[in-house]
Amino acid sequence: MIQTIRIGLLLREAVAAPYRNLVTRPTGAAVRTRIEATLADSNCLTALLDFSDIELVDLSCADEVVAKLLLTVQTAYFVVLQGLREDHHEAIEHVLTHHRLAVAAVPPGCRAPRLLGWAGTDAREAFTCITEQGPLDVTALARGLGWPVSRGREALGDLALHRLVRPIGELYYPLQTA
Amino acid sequence: MTRVIEVPTHFDDRSFDAFAAGFGDWPPPEKVLVDARATQWASPYGLIGILTAGQALAEAKREKPLLTVPTNDEVKRYWARAGFFHHASELFELHGKVPRSGATGPSDVLLDVTPVRASEDVHGVVHKISEGASRILHGELGLEMKATLRFSMALSEACQNIVEHAGTSGWVAVQAYTFRRRLGRRVVVIAVSDAGVGFRRSLESAHAKRFGERWGDGAALEAALIQNVSRFRDPGRGQGLAFIKRFLDQWEGKISIRSGTARLSIVPAWDEDVPMSDHLPLFPGAQVQIIIPAQEAKTR
C-alpha cells in the first residue's frame, strides 16, 4: 500500500498562502512535520511524495523536507519522490550527497524510479536491475550482473540499509510506485 | 555637531569603503547627515547600504540621521522607482524633493528594495522575482531557462542568511544593468545587506578556536564562503553558499561578502577585484553581492 502525499498541499497549509515555492528552513520543517503526521496516521509502508505542484525547491527545504525525513523515518517507511523537475533533482541530490543518503525518485513520464543522492556504482546497478526485473535474491542478482555473490550481497545490503529495496525472506523487491 | 557622510558620485561595491569610512568609529557619536546630493548613480548594493546605515543608527539608539536626496532628477526618479525613498523615509529625515514612485511597465529593477525580517518575507521575495527574472536572465542575459530557478534559489539562500544569522532584519534588491567599464555586458545583481552581528560574531562560538590568533572578520568570511561552515551544529547547514558558488562558477558570476572590516570575493576572470580585502573601514552587519553576467555567444 502506498500513501501519496501532495507536497504542494502541505506547503499551502504550512505558509497559509498560495505560494508554490518550497523555500526557507521553517517552511521545510513545517512541511516535514505534516508529512510525519500523515505517515503516523497511515498503515502504508511506502510514502510517495508528490512534488508536481511545486515550482521551486531551495537547498534549505531540500534538506529539511527530504534529507531530514529520510534520517527520521529510516526504520519505518520506504520513501519515493515523484513529480520532480530537473532543478528539484539538483537541489535534492546536492543535500542527499552531503548527508550520504539516497532516495528513489520517479522521473516525469516514467514508472520506474531512479536513484538520487549518494549511492555507489554497484548499488545503482543493483537498484536498476531489481527495478527492471522484479524481485531477485542475491544469487540471481549476482548472476544477472556477472558479479561474485559477495558483491551482489554487499550491493543489496547497501540498498536495504537505505530502504531502497524491500527485503522479504531471501528476495529483494523493488519499491512500489503505483 | 553633525558628521557629514558623502555618498560617492558613483556608489557601488567599489566605492562602498569610502562611504563606510565616513562613519568613523561605529556608531558615530554625532548626529549624522548622509549627503547624496552629488550622487549620479547607485547600484542596489549602494542603495541598501545607505538603508543599512540608517537601520544600524536606529538600532544603536542614535538620533535620526538626515539624508539629502540627489539633486539630479533622473537619479531621484530611479531611486524612487526602486522603492528606496519609501524605506529611507522611515530611517532618515529626508531633505530635498522626493518624487512619487510609480511603476510603469517592465523595468530593469527586478526586485524593489525590500525588507527581509522573517521567513515569510523570503517567500514573498522569491514569489515576486519569478516572472521578471525569467525575462531578464533568459531573454537578455542568454542563460538557460533553468537558470531562473537556480537564480531564485540563490536569492532565497542569500536572504535566509539574514533571517538565520544576522539577529536583526535586512534588505534585498535585484537589478539588471550594463557593466560598461568592467565587463561591457549586461549583468543582474543581487544585493543583500543587514545591520546585524556580522559573520565573525555569528560564527565565533563554534569556529574561532580552530583559527586561533587568525580569527577575525576575514577568517570568518573564509570559513563561511570557502569552507562552508555554519554556526549551527546541524550537519545539513552551510550548503547554501556552496550551491551558489557552484552556479556562479558555471555562469562566470561573482560573489562578494563584506562583513565588519573585511571583504571576500570569488573573482571571475573578467573582474580585477582582489579575493580578500582586510582592514577596511568598519561597517555594521554583512553585505552580499552576487553578479551574474550575460553569457558570451560561445557559451550560450
DSSP-H helix ranges across chain B: 16-21, 44-59, 73-81, 84-91, 119-134, 146-161, 198-211, 217-225, 239-251
Q: Which residues of B touch A94 (CB under 8 A)?
A: 239, 243
From A24, A27, A67, residue closest to B236, measured CB to CB: A67
Tally DSSP H helices, then E strands, for chain A: 8, 9
Least confident piece of the model among A115-124, A137-146, B104-113: B104-113
Number of A–B residue contacts, CB under 8 Å: 77
Amino acid symbol at B19 = F
Q: Looking at per-residue confidence, does A77 or B256 come out higher?
A: B256
Selection from A81-90, A143-152, B162-171 with the highest mean pLDDT? A143-152
At residue A57, the pLDDT reads: 94
- Given this model, what pLDDT does residue A74 score? 57
Give the pLDDT band of residue B61 (cuts 50, 70, 90).
very high
Q: Report the predicted TM-score, pTM, of the whole model to 2 decimal places.
A: 0.88
Coil/strand/helix, residue B20: helix
Whole-number pLDDT of residue B148: 84
> Does B181 have pLDDT greater than 80?
no
Measured CA distances, B60 to A65, A78, B20, B89, B285 (Å): 38, 52, 16, 18, 13
What one-character DSSP code corresponds to residue B250? H
Is A56–B163 a contact, with Cβ atoms under 8 angstroms apart?
no
Summarize pLDDT for B213-230 with one digit per residue, the tens: 999 999 999 999 998 887
B27: cis peptide before it, omega within 30°?
yes
The amino acid occupying position B298 is K
- d(Cα A123, Cα A104) in Å, to the nearest integer? 12
Would the pLDDT of A147 be above 70? yes
Q: Which CATH class is domain B2-97+108-299?
A: alpha beta
Chain B residues in contact with chain A using a Cβ-Cβ cutoff of 8 Å:
119-120, 122-123, 126-127, 130, 146, 149-150, 152-153, 156-157, 160, 163-164, 235-236, 239-240, 243
Residue B234 confidence (pLDDT) above 80: no
Please give the helix or strand (H or E) that residue A151 lies within, else none: helix A149-161
Helices and strands in chain B: count of H runs, count of E runs: 9, 13
From CA A101, how far away is CA A82, in angstroms rounded? 17
pLDDT at B129: 86
Residue boundaries of the structural domains of chain B: 2-97+108-299
Confidence tier at A52 by pLDDT (50, 70, 90): very high
Identify the band that residue B101 occupies on the pLDDT scale cut at 50, 70 and 90: low
Minimal Cα–Cα distance from B134 to chain A, Å? 13
Mean per-residue pLDDT for A49-68?
94
Under the banding of pLDDT at 50, 70 and 90, the label for residue B138 is confident
- Look at residue B300 in the predicted model and tell me its pLDDT: 45
- Which residue ranges form the domains of chain A, and what is each CATH number? 2-117 (3.30.750), 121-173 (1.10.10.10)
Q: How far apart are CA B3 and CA B175, in angstroms?
A: 31
Whether the predicted pLDDT of A55 surpasses 50: yes
Best CA proximity match to B113, nearest among B181, B195, B50, B32: B50
How many Å separate Cα A56 from the centre of its chain? 18
Cell numbers representing residue B128 in the block: 515576486
Mean pLDDT of chain B: 90
Nearest chain A CA: its distance from B258 CA (Å): 23
pLDDT exceeds cutoff 50 at B41:
yes
* Interface confidence (ipTM) of the complex: 0.82
Quote the radius of gyration of chain B (alpha carbons, Å): 18
Looking up cell 500513501 gives A3
B299 versus B148: the higher-pLDDT residue is B148
